[in-house]
């Protein structure tokens, strides 16, 4: 089998973020690229959050997935720049996120002290689409999500934060 960058990208579609099983690392924007240099496969990834503990598992899964398909000696490069943003998530990925019960991120705001302090995110309920929802906590089961509550269907739910 001839290993091509396209084939590797296709294989890596099977690698999901352990904390967001509905999305692959490509959907998440964690996977930044694949290159083959002198027979060595180099996979470039970027962390979602500086301290994201899932990065270790993601690197392991990449190596494992490629090994199962006969590709060994994979090098994983971690880059910080450009900084990861939820704006990289496709509409299709956002839809799947919503179907899995997590309210998807909206477009990120322009950065300013005032925007941060007087923020108001519009986060409709992923279950009943009601807009009668309220923020319960800025942090949820993982750093990348916050906790909301829907006053219409009375369900708590997570929101994938705009980042």
Partner 1 sequence: MYTDEIKEAQKEYLLRLADDRMILSQRLSELCGHGPILEEDIALTNISLDLLGQAKLYYEKVAELSDEEVTADDWVFFRDEREYWNVLLVELDNEDFAHTIVKQLIFDVFEILLYGEMINSKDADLKAIAEKSIKETKYHLRHSHEWMLRLGGGTEESNRRLRDAIEFLWQYTGELFYTDEVDDILVGAGIAPDVSKFRDEYYKTLNKILVESELEEMDPNVWMQSGGRDGRHTEYMGHILATMQYLPRSMPDAQW
Q: Which residues pair with 148 in a beta bridge?
A: 135, 157
Please report how close the Cβ of residue 8 comes to partner 1 at its closest, in angstroms: 25
| Residue from 1, 21, 37, 81 in contact with partner 1 (CB under 8 A) | 81
Residue 31 found at the interface with partner 1 (CB under 8 A): no
Distances (CA, A) of 134 to 146, 154, 156: 11, 11, 10
Work out how close the CB of 124 gets to partner 1 at its nearest, in angstroms, rounded to a whole number. 20
CA distance 87 to 91: 10
**Peptide bond connecting 50 to the previous residue in cis, omega within 30 degrees of 0:** no
Distance (Å, rounded) from C-alpha 15 to C-alpha 18? 9
Smallest distance from partner 1 to CB 81, Å? 4
- Residue 49: its H or E element: none
Report d(CA 149, CA 118) in Å as an integer.
20
Instruction: Indicate the residue among 9 and 47 with the shorter CB distance to partner 1.
Output: 47
Give the separation between CA 111 and CA 52, rounded to whole angstroms.
22
- Segment interacting with partner 1, rule: CB under 8 A, options 8-16, 20-28, 79-87, 97-105: 79-87
**Minimum distance of partner 1 from residue 87's CB (angstroms):** 11
Instruction: Decide if residue 82 touches partner 1 (CB under 8 A).
Output: yes
Q: Looking only at residues 51 through 70 of this chain, which bind partner 1 when binding is defined by CB under 8 A?
A: 51-53
The residue from 1, 116, 122, 134 that contacts partner 1 (CB under 8 A) is 116
Q: How far is the CB of 88 from partner 1 (least distance, A)?
A: 13
What pairs with residue 76 in β-bridges?
A: 43
Q: Tokens standing for 64? A: 């494992």
Q: Residues in the site for partner 1, rule: CB under 8 A?
A: 47, 49-53, 80-85, 111, 113, 116-117, 119, 136-143, 146-147, 161, 163
């Amino acid at each position: 089998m001839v290993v091509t960058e396209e084939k590797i990208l296709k294989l890596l579609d099977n690698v999901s973020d352990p904390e967001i099983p509905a999305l692959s690392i490509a959907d998440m924007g964690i996977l930044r690229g694949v290159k083959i240099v002198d027979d060595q496969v180099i996979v470039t990834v970027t962390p979602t959050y500086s301290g994201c503990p899932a990065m270790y598992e993601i690197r392991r899964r990449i190596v494992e997935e490629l090994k199962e398909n006969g590709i060994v000696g994979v090098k994983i490069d971690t880059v910080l720049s450009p900084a990861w943003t939820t704006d990289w998530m496709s509409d299709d990925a956002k839809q799947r996120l919503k179907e899995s019960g997590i309210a998807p991120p909206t477009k990120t705001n322009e950065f300013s002290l005032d925007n941060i302090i007087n923020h108001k995110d519009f986060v409709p309920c992923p279950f009943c689409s009601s807009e009668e929802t309220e923020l319960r906590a800025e942090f949820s089961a993982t750093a990348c999500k916050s906790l909301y509550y829907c006053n219409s269907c009375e369900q708590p739910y997570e929101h994938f934060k705009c980042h």
